[in-house]
Amino acid sequence: MKPIFFIGFMGVGKTTIGKRLSEVIQLPVIDMDQYIEEKEKQSIKEIFDQKGEAYFRDLETKALNELLVEEGIITTGGGVIEREENRKLLAGNPLVVHLTCPFDVLWGRLHGDENRPLVKKNSQENLRALYNRRIPFYTESSMIEIDTKDKTVETIVEEILLQLNP
């Protein structure tokens, strides 16, 4: 079985939904950011602070290539779709789930989160612009789209299962 990838803007629920789906369908879950942190022996925040975003995006592309052969659920970082190469890799996989949610709802979840470098260094307006720029990339990279606004984790997982097993 090919891996199931979760993509979407930060705060949309990729990690939470990925963990729950993992429990339901008995497949391991791999958080791409944690995978990178373990390989680099640094936190994402430290990588951004010390080596910059471009270096981190290189690591992300490398990790994506490595994880394409894993059997399980892969939760990606929100910026994995920044690179065209990554979008093409994801679009070639039929099991890419784009979790989406309106920006205003996401801002309520993200505001003040010190562990997210892009939230920490950007204003609400800059993040909204980033969100708007990325939405078409998520859409082009995924086969399944699920809105997470005002839904329970269980409802979202049920919707995903219906899409994966029509």
| pLDDT tier at 111, thresholds 50, 70, 90 | confident
At 92 the pLDDT is 86
**Quick one: which of 66, 115, 110 has its CA closest to 86?**
66
Residue 112 in this model has a pLDDT that exceeds 70: no
Topology (CATH) of 4-157: Rossmann fold (3.40.50)
Tell me the pLDDT band of 73, cut-offs 50, 70 and 90.
Answer: very high
How many C-beta atoms surround the C-beta of residue 11 within 10 A? 23
Distance CA 125, CA 15 (A): 25
pLDDT given for residue 94 in this prediction: 84
The C-alpha atoms of residue 81 and residue 91 are separated, in whole angstroms, by 10
Which residue shows structure tokens 């299962």?
Answer: 161
Q: pLDDT tens-digit profile of 5-61?
A: 999 998 899 999 999 999 999 999 999 999 999 999 999 889 988 999 899 999 999
Q: What is the pLDDT of residue 63?
A: 96
pLDDT band at 166 (very low <50, low <70, confident <90, very high): low
Q: How far apart are CA 19 and CA 40, in angstroms?
A: 23
Q: How far is CA 27 from CA 24, 30, 39, 90, 144, in A?
A: 8, 10, 22, 19, 19
Mean residue pLDDT across the chain: 91
Q: Could you state, in order of their start, the residue ranges of all structural domains in the chain?
A: 4-157
